Structure formats: C-alpha cells, structure tokens
Amino acid sequence: MIGPGDEVLVTEMEHHANLVPWQELCLKTGATLRWIPLTDDGRLDLAGIDDLITAHTRVVSLVHQSNILGTINPVAEIGRRAREVGALVVVDACQSIPHLPLNVRDLEADLVMWSGHKMLGPTGVGCLWGRPEVLDAMPPFLTGGSMIDTVRMEGSTYAPAPQKFEAGVPMAAQAVGLAAAVDYLLAIGMDAVAEHEHVLTAAVLDGLLSVPGVRIIGPDTTIDRGSAVSFVVDGVHPHDVGQILDSLGIAVRVGHHCAWPVCRRYEVPATTRATFYLYNGLDDVEALIDGIHEVKRFWEVA
C-alpha cells in the first residue's frame, strides 16, 4: 500500500498516460509525486538521482523511449538504483518495443507495458509483462466473468494471472491482429528494423540541422535516441507547419503529443513530430526537408 510519506518518481518527459494516473494515486493516498528533470538537450538529468530515489520511494515509473523527444532512457540503470531501496519499477515501452530489439528482462523492471497500434497492430489492445511474483500479488482491477476461479454467494476466488486481469468477453479480433503484427515484425527481425530506423533518423537529423530557423526539440544526434523527431520552425506555429506539410502529402503529428510538460520545459506551444518506421525510406526524409523549405517560403520566414 502507498500512503502519506511515500513517494512516486516519474520523469518530466512522461506521456500523460504515465503521469496523470500517478498524480491521481498521489492525490488519493497522500503520497508525494516527484520527477527527474530534463536537460536542455532532451535527456534525463540524473545528477540528483540519489536525492530522488530514497528510502521513501515506493514506485519508479518511467518511459523507455520518449514519444515526443525520441530519447532512449537508461531504464536499467535507474531500475537497479530503485531496487536498492525496494521500489517497484514500472516501464512504459510503447515507443521502444516496436522499434528496438529488446528483452524485457534486461530492463530491470517489475512491470513493462506497451500498446499494439504503435507496432503495426490494431488500436484498443496492448500488453503487460510482469514478474510473476508481482502479478500474483496484484488484485484484479476489473471483476466479472472469465476471471474467476470459484464463485459462491459468500464470496469468490480469482484465476491466476493473466486471466484474473481479463474480465468479460476477450478482445479476440484485436488480439489476433496484434499477434499478426508481432509475427510480421519478427519475420523481418527487430535488429533490421532498428538499423533501418537508425539510417533514417541520422538523415532527418542532418536535414533538419541544415535548415536555418529549425530547432530540434530533443537530442540532435542518434546516440540513445529513436526515430520520433520533434521540431519547431521559427516564426511558424507547429499547426501551420503541419497544415502545409499535409497539403504536400507529408503526414506528421502536431501538438503537445500528450506530453505537455515537455513543451512547457522547452517553452514551445507545441511541436511538429515526424516519426519514421520500417515502411519509410530516404525519399520520405527528402520530402520532409523539402516540405519544411516550402513552409518557410509560404510563411515568408527566413
């Protein structure tokens, strides 16, 4: 149980889905939420980690690869430090498992979760991996059919994990779709996927750095970073950047990307984000850079 005097540690780059639930937990239990701050170049500032992970820390929950900055965080290093104080370690791997060759056991985590739609699968489905002893100790968050062991009028007992977390009619179509996506990725090989993305990421970073007035929000090298690349164009709102690129047939995401604290940290209202995957090529990188030049011409900015 978590209560007053306990602490939950996250990072300043979390997706809202790994921030807001912890805010609510702390609000309801009286625990304190703390976070690892960001450096100017989009990485975690670990200089004060020993002051953040203490005997009061009950949970450390952090993103493996940022969906807005592209940063790949040293989750295993942080996880080992958290284990020293007995904290539960939770890793958001939504942006890393679809893009990197990973073994979840190497992340030094107790729980790892990821979504289906970021790995070529359908929406509305995802995965949770957990250490058996952690899953066994967790109570079900939904109750109903399919997750029970025995039911009597006086009370019920529950099936073991994972069944006890899967009440009701299962999402058969989504599960089959996700399995097909996994088979497809494994047939290609995650090493090949990662290498392909590395080439594209290097090209797009070089391209963006060559355009005057464009600022990358996040690491500007391929060291410990993935293929989600956010940027701003001086003098043009990101929504306007996205509209021009859309008219050219270039699909990007604009907004705060469910990571509003990141935008506040770098004092931008939003960013434009281009994310490259196995279906992209260097021609897409070239089209993006050409499109940004067109954005600048259209809005008459230097």
Catalytic site positions: 258
Q: Which residues are CB-neighbours of 13 under 8 A, at least 6 positions away?
A: 38, 42, 44, 63, 66, 68, 69, 71, 73, 259, 261, 262
Q: Which residues are CB-neighbours of 225 under 8 A, at least 6 positions away?
A: 69, 70, 71, 72, 201, 218, 219
Indicate the DSSP class of residue 18: G
Strands 57-63 and 88-92: parallel
CA quadruple 290, 294, 296, 302: dihedral sign: positive
**Cα-based distances in Å from 206 to 126, 174, 215:** 34, 38, 12
Tokens linked to 287: 């089209």
Q: Which residues face 63 on adjacent strands?
A: 92
Helix then strand count (H, E) for the chain reads 9, 12
Q: In angstroms, rounded to a whole number, what is the distance separating the alpha carbons of residues 64 and 59?
A: 16
Q: In angstroms, rounded to a whole number, what is the distance separating the alpha carbons of residues 242 and 16?
A: 22
Tokens linked to 176: 């089959």
- Give the H or E element holding residue 198: helix 190-209
Q: Which residues are CB-neighbours of 137 under 8 A, at least 6 positions away?
A: none
Tokens linked to 157: 């007992």
